[in-house]
Amino acid sequence: LPQDLSNLPLERLSANQINALCSVSRDYTRDPYFGLTIGRFIHISNFHALGYALMASHTLMDFCLRLERYFPIVTLAAEFSVERRDDSVTLRFQPRIPLSGQTEDAFITFLLRLMRLLYDKPLNLVRIEKRHTCPSEGPQPYVEEYGVTPHFAAPGAALVFDIAGFDDPLYGAC
């Protein structure tokens, strides 16, 4: 990685650099759940104006649709889509290039933490699907972070929520 890396909005690491950084960090720390740790330290301000626009969403559904619309600003390495049904909302994260399990874990952890912060009430997370396999140490750190046991080795990553609350006004709506 460049020694003089800045936090300017238009300066970014490539997906390959992020994958390599996550893999080296996992290996160095010997923590197979390192992606969960990364996700706990990503802050919405890291996304600059888009982050603040997401925080100003009127409802969680608005938040999800806004994220879907502007996701290509964040990365072109994956697609993000929202599927609304009568009883559920599914958020899908489908990589366009090979991404590490740590990268997937970091994004899902960040996204879920942000949604819980914005909604400020319990979300009914029904299911999580992960592309990568479960570490040999078991799923307990995921259960502690997410409240459900993820389904591993899925074709794509997904979060499935009960639709209750997705149309409720958010506290920070603007």
**What global pTM score does this model have?**
0.88
Nearest Cα residue to 34 out of 122, 127, 132: 132
Q: What is the pLDDT of residues 47-81, one digit of tens each?
A: 888 889 999 999 999 999 999 999 998 888 899 99
Q: What's residue 8's pLDDT? A: 67
Amino acid at 138: G
How far apart CA 172 and CA 119 sit, in angstroms, is 9
Q: What is the pLDDT of residues 66-119, one digit of tens each?
A: 999 999 988 888 999 999 999 999 999 999 988 889 999 999 999 999 999 999
CA distances to 55, 75, 166 from 68, rounded to whole Å, are 14, 11, 15
